[in-house]
Structure 1
């Protein structure tokens, strides 16, 4: 068995190093998909490609009811003065753990198949919806995700059985008023004044005070180079955050009231659209219990940390949002992410990737036995 473990450790590092050196951004993970497909075929498996990128593979007998999901895409950001694709969110490590988990699951004689999903476009908050639309999770009862965690959240070697991410919405808006001469304001509708009224209105939106939330204007553009013209057009962006989906709904209801009220007062036209959306985590208790047991088995009870509450967002939670019956949770891998996620020079302890692969495989097997029973 030691030879098998050594072989999997080496493969996990090999995959990590290749993916880290060859990052691809959302919806452009063609070579990443091809590489993973080749790795799985070499293991004697039969991966199935998704459209337009990504893939999944089934290991074991029958229709899978337990799944593991890892994400593929890198970020586009400035690194040492150059804009480029960059794995600063740890998805390179997630892929490596997915391959390692596949190898460990192969060692088991399961009567229930395990499905491992390699999902594209997590950073665009679009990949999970695409996977759901292609029917990949239709028969699943359990789904487990994983994410490396900043050292401020988890100590190196400490792993958490759930991550309670918050909800987020990014909203783009346009204001259409009436442009006029600065000497005759009564003939126009000042788009900047309309924007100021929106900002003031957002400060009056009330939501559950026991749940962390915020809604604010983060971009505003209005007016041209001439200072004696009252502008009739403006654009703005709103960032909304809430720790639960219910409170996010309260914020959106409040936003609608503010926009309709400002329109009525100023007789302006305000149009908005949601440009990006992340839903809050809906964590299942049984899935969390199984993941806790898996962490205890692989690294010991002393290395199992409490569940994490994070203000960040994660595309993974669309699976449970779209399929409420799905029992899901996400493993928080304590691997000393420094200085933090999405930092262009982010680093982490890659030795923890093997532990992550083992925990994923263990919890998948536990869930398969739960389904079987």
Structure 2
């Protein structure tokens, strides 16, 4: 198999058909058609969405190893007000790698068990992994391998991080409802801006264990769109929560919800909040991490192996482990001289660096089956 030729052929096509969350129709058809060409059994529209699952069965008893790729892109506002779909997070690269891995393990042959290729939608909004879980796509899986192209300051071309310790993140949206009044009679109203300010101050006073990296930031405060001499009766407020601990994240969520509700009540207003999106923190499996390091060194040499890395970004791949604790997972970081940064419409990377990632993931998949 000429991996570089495969990358040069597949990546431009996927990059050109960028589609946002749950709208990956052409993308899903592309990967499904390619998997069928390789001899995989393919299920489309998994969970009633654009998700695609491809299975290669050796016909011999053994574990199932899943290789997961996300499919969606990001939307960017243009000068004319329109939105442009761009693969600025590397999901086109992820799909390219997954399809190459699918071909490589097929050519090398499975010693036993099965390989599953999971192409999930909607990673950018944190909902795609849950679709696969709810549809039962992980029910028979013992090992799940995820990966992500990484910025240049974290990994260079020819380097791979064996485990990315993604951070738990939660986005919360709240609404404060006060009572409108004329500015000359503030005692007859309940100023939602005052209430919202008190909530922000209370949230800023939250302190968590510094070793867990917990933080809560107010990221939205909208209110007072009416006349300047009117008491504001409604405020929209938003928060970003982060922690390296899933347990601490649950505590932070509850504290923010309580602050919104109870502070509003103290002022005679009404406050409610709801979670807009969430991703759990990574929970790596030590035995799988050791094997991943071994394979990286085997493919790239010791100079290609980087230490496990912590990152303050969320990744919904981690729902797999949270919802199925017995699952053994690895989340690799692919060095590819990516610049200037993820989620930048001008993001670009070294395509040649995808080849070692393909080899590492294919070899890791086969070793997991060989060691069964």
Shorter-chain TM-score category? over 0.9
Q: What RMSD in Å do the two structures reach over aligned CA positions? A: 1.6
Aligned mates of 1:12, 1:113 — CA distance in 2: 24
Query: In structure 2, what is the equivalent of residue 85 of structure 1?
Result: 85
Query: In structure 2, what is the equivalent of residue 100 of structure 1?
Result: 100
**CA spacing shift, 1:260–1:172, aligned 2, 3 Å:** closer
- Matched position secondary structure for 1:210: helix
Q: Deviations over 1:6-55 (max 9, x none)?
A: 2x331232111110111111101111111111111222222111231021
- Deviation of the 1:282 alpha carbon: 1.1
Aligned mates of 1:259, 1:225 — CA distance in 2: 23
Equivalenced residues, count: 366
Query: In structure 2, what is the equivalent of residue 228 of structure 1?
Result: 229
2:57 is aligned with 1:60: yes
2:209 is aligned with 1:208: yes
2:30 is aligned with 1:35: yes
Aligned mates of 1:308, 1:155 — CA distance in 2: 14
Matches within 5 A, 1:21-170: 21-49=16-44, 50=46, 51-62=48-59, 65-78=64-77, 83-106=83-106, 107-170=108-171
Name which of 9, 16, 20 aligns with 2:11.
16
Work out whether residues 257 and 273 of structure 2, in 8 Å CA contact, stay in contact via their aligned partners in 1.
Answer: no
- Deviation of the 1:248 alpha carbon: 1.4
- Deviation of the 1:80 alpha carbon: 7.8
Q: Deviations over 1:349-369 (max 9, x none)?
A: 000111111111111111122
Alignment gaps of 5+ in structure 1: none
- Deviation of the 1:155 alpha carbon: 2.0
Work out whether residues 13 and 96 of structure 1, in 8 Å CA contact, stay in contact via their aligned partners in 2.
Answer: no
**Deviating runs (4+, > 3 A) in structure 1?**
78-82
Q: Deviations over 1:65-89 (max 9, x none)?
A: 2111011111111468763110111
Aligned mates of 2:248, 2:13 — CA distance in 1: 41
Work out whether residues 167 and 279 of structure 1, in 8 Å CA contact, stay in contact via their aligned partners in 2.
Answer: yes
Aligned mates of 2:9, 2:37 — CA distance in 1: 14
Work out whether residues 241 and 248 of structure 1, in 8 Å CA contact, stay in contact via their aligned partners in 2.
Answer: yes
Aligned mates of 2:258, 2:21 — CA distance in 1: 35
